[in-house]
Amino acid sequence: MKKLLALLLSLCMMVSIVAVSAVADEKIELTLWHYFGVDYDYSDGSIFQKDIDNFNASQDRINISYEFVSREDLMRQYQMGAISGELPDIGMVDNPDMASYIQMGVFTDITDQLNAWGQLDQFFTGPLNSCTQDGRIYGLPHNSNCLALFYDKDALDAAGLSVPTTWTELRAAAKALTDPATGRYGFAISAVKNEEGTFQFIPWFLSSGGKLEELNGQGCVDALSFLNSLIEDGSMPRDIINWTQGDCNNQFISGGVAMQVNGPWNVSSVNEMAPDKNWGVALIPRADDGVNASVLGGENFGITTACENVDAAMEFLTYLMSKEVSADFCEVAGKFSPRKDASESKEIWVVDPIFSVFAENMNYAMPRGPHPRWPEISTAISTAEHEVFTGSKDVQTALDEAAATVSAILAQ
């Protein structure tokens, strides 16, 4: 009898060991949403997918399944998911929007895990702050960027012009480079009625002394009036109200515009699609009595409150934001690493004639927000810009209404 009991006990222990082993061997499946572009071989989306594939291949415990979701759809799905709980394990978000989704309960607090990681001191303060609320951290910045002036060197040379550095010089150059016979405009920005339009307008009012808290102040009025004057005199197409930053860049590539404001993520597409184009970048022209200005862009990643295996998600997150992976992604994608040590590891941001200018411009790049209601603030700004450029409202009226909306939000 004793031998039988011992045998049964031994069998139970073996079954338990096998069961535990099976659980241990079971791969952890995590889902991830992102909106990186996937239009061409060297897009940020294709590079990002390689990073995920490399992580999956580097170990056999965790598998990351990733899905592209357009930025607008992603925002809506986060909003619905905050209520329904239907969220990915890991999510991407535009850095000024993160505060809003933290407040909604989309992202989980990973402060303790990040402190245990021990590398937070390597991140620049601005990008990391966009992941922080009330002293707690809900994600990590993945990349940073800013805006600068792209210009056609041959077009400027043919017109006998130097690269414009002020609004007065930009007005003259844009007018001179506009050629109705060929359909070429001298200058363009993206003024679509969404975050891209807001993103592109911010450097102009910052340069002239405008403030988010005083959208109807003289600085913002001067900036919007200046841009609108370029449309009215025919130097900038009215169609920019429908142009995304990608559309604007395509026009620059094709020769439809001689100068544009855009970001470093579009450098590779210009080089690939217009390899013979003689072009350069410069700081965005400043107000005549103003300062140089740009705007901080970039994306963050966070672990959502729906994730059931935060430790596994943290393993991927810290891999993605490690020095080497961050530096390699940002170098190829045409962006800047939010890590100090990664930024110091690549010569491109120091010696390259294009990226070194963007690196300099990062010194002038100001963040959007962060504010839990940034999407509403952004909508008010892009709406005012859109109303002026379509001619439905004058500058002061449009900005008065935007200022009233934003002031009410900031006062709460």
pLDDT digits (tens, 9 = 90+) for 235-254: 999 999 999 999 999 999 99
Q: In b/e form, how buried is each residue of 293-323, taking b as 16+ CB within 10 angstroms?
A: bbbbbbbbbbbbbbbeebebbbbbbebbbbb
| Structure token pair of residue 387 | 């109303």
pLDDT at 159 over 50: yes
Query: Crossing angle, helix 395-411 and helix 218-232, to 10 degrees?
Result: 140
- Tell me the pLDDT band of 380, cut-offs 50, 70 and 90: very high
pLDDT tens track for 389-405: 999 999 999 999 999 99
- Of the two residues 293 and 10, the one the predictor is more confident about is 293
pLDDT of 39 > 60? The answer is no
Tell me which H or E stretch contains 301.
Answer: strand 299-303
Q: Domain 28-145+297-366, what fold?
A: D-Maltodextrin-Binding Protein; domain 2 (3.40.190)
Q: Identical fold at 28-145+297-366 and 148-295+373-411?
A: yes
Computed over every residue of the chain, the mean pLDDT equals 92
Q: pTM here?
A: 0.82
Give buried/exposed letters for 198-231 (b at 16+ CB in 10 A, else e): bbbbbbbbbbbbbebebbbbebbbbbbbbbbebb
pLDDT for 45: 74
What is the per-residue pLDDT for 334? 85
344 pLDDT band, cuts 50/70/90, is: confident
293-320 average pLDDT score: 96
Instruction: Let me know if 68 is exposed, middle or buried by CB neighbors in 10 A (0-12, 13-18, 19+).
Output: middle
What single DSSP character describes residue 284? P
The whole-number pLDDT of residue 136 equals: 97
Residue pair 5/13 in contact (Cβ under 8 Å)? The answer is no
Q: Which two tokens stand for residue 376?
A: 């509403």
Domain boundaries, the chain: 28-145+297-366, 148-295+373-411
| Structure confidence by residue, pLDDT tens digits, 124-150 | 888 998 999 999 999 999 999 999 999
- Average pLDDT value for residue range 90-97: 94
**What pLDDT is stored for residue 274 in this prediction?**
97
pLDDT at residue 21, as a whole number: 44
For 161-170, 197-206, 333-342, which range has the lowest pLDDT when averaged over its residues? 333-342
| Separation of alpha carbons 67 and 65, rounded Å | 7
- The alpha-helical segments, DSSP class H, found in 208-286 are 218-232, 245-254, 267-273
| pLDDT per position as a tens digit, 196-238 | 999 999 999 999 999 999 999 999 999 999 999 999 999 999 9
Q: Residue 84: its pLDDT value, please? A: 94
Tell me the fold of 148-295+373-411. Answer: D-Maltodextrin-Binding Protein; domain 2 (3.40.190)
